[in-house]
Structure 1
């Protein structure tokens, strides 16, 4: 009887011991993964920028400017008059195309048609959202856009691939308030 009582008491004491949480077999440090991802993105962006600069250097017919937003642009048709540019909420009527860096057409102007873009109020290619606000009615600008300011790591799900830099020639037709 005493033996049974001792066995039962020891089982109860051992059963009530504090349970230690199990640790993962291969603990990973999320900070390390984040740092590696950032380093990889920096390398990818540097390679992409090198490709873009090479394309710009080969295009001797245009003078490209660098935007603080990470894209390059060159005026095809510049208006020197002091006329307004699109502001937030304006409707900018544009035509545009999209090509790869070598100039192969991905989406033609005819395919995309005329677009009425509500400035900064609708989803659009982020570099063009900024670029359109630089334009005056009648101007045409070619934008060279790195992937992170275009369609990024997902592409457009159709013709534009992942991490693909693009060029787009945009003409601002009209601005409506």
Structure 2
């Protein structure tokens, strides 16, 4: 009986191992990220080729390039010694959004006048960056790649995913952060 109790105890002791970690159901190879990067590179290359075609066909405007991958031209140039907004300044502006085929998606009337605190409010990336290039009483039209517009998601309304756009931005007034 002692032997049976000892064997039973020994079997129980051996079967009580530590907790066994669960194995993952599927292994991740990182291929999704690599495919996404390649897809984005291809999309950017296509958009850049499209932009070159648009700029070549539009001889009436002098396009400038930006550090954030967009192109723009001035519709109305303000004072050359004017002030460009910086973080925390308050900018009163209006803008529109057009498709690459020049169809109006959102007009300045639709959007209205916007009071924007620079770098403190959520706007699409190209608009946030474009505002910082303009002075009061200036208007410029930006040709934005999809990554600077509404990206891979679109706006869930009129702007489809991965759609480059034109936007015309008009700066009405700039209030420096010290004067707020």
* TM-score, with structure 2 as normaliser: 0.82
SS at structure 2 position matched to 1:167: strand
Q: What's the offset of the Cα at 1:27?
A: 3.5
* 1:17 to 1:122, Cα distance in 2 relative to 1, 3 A: closer
- 1:145 maps to 144
- Match of residue 66 from structure 1: 65
**Which residue number corresponds to residue 171 of structure 1?**
170
Equivalent residue, structure 1, for 2:126: 127
**Runs of 4+ displaced beyond 2 Å:** 7-28
Given that 1:52 and 1:101 are in contact with CA atoms closer than 8 Å, whether structure 2 keeps it comes out as: no
Q: Cα deviations across residues 104-129 of structure 1 (Å, max 9, x unaligned)? A: 00001111111111111111121121
Give ranges in structure 1 of 5+ residues lacking alignment. Answer: none
Hey, what's the Cα distance between the residues in 1 that align with 2:158 and 2:145? 16
Q: How does 1:5-154 map to 2 (within 5 A)?
A: 15=15, 27-29=27-29, 31-154=30-153
Asked whether the 8 Å contact 1:154–1:161 carries over to 2, the reply is yes
Q: For structure 2, which runs of at least 5 residues remain unmatched after alignment?
A: none
Q: How far apart are the structure 2 equivalents of 1:144 and 1:92?
A: 21
CA RMSD across the alignment: 2.4
* Bigger mean CA offset, 13-22 vs 117-126: 13-22
Q: Alpha-carbon deviations, 1:10-60, whole Å to 9, x = none?
A: 97698557887675676441x333222211211122112222222222211
Tell whether the 8 Å contact from 1:55 to 1:102 is kept in structure 2 after alignment. Answer: no
Cα distance in structure 1, aligned partners of 2:113 and 2:56: 31
Distance 1:87 1:21, change over 3 A: closer
Report the TM-score, using the length of structure 1 for normalisation: 0.84
In structure 1, what is the Cα distance between the partners aligned to 2:73 and 2:58? 11
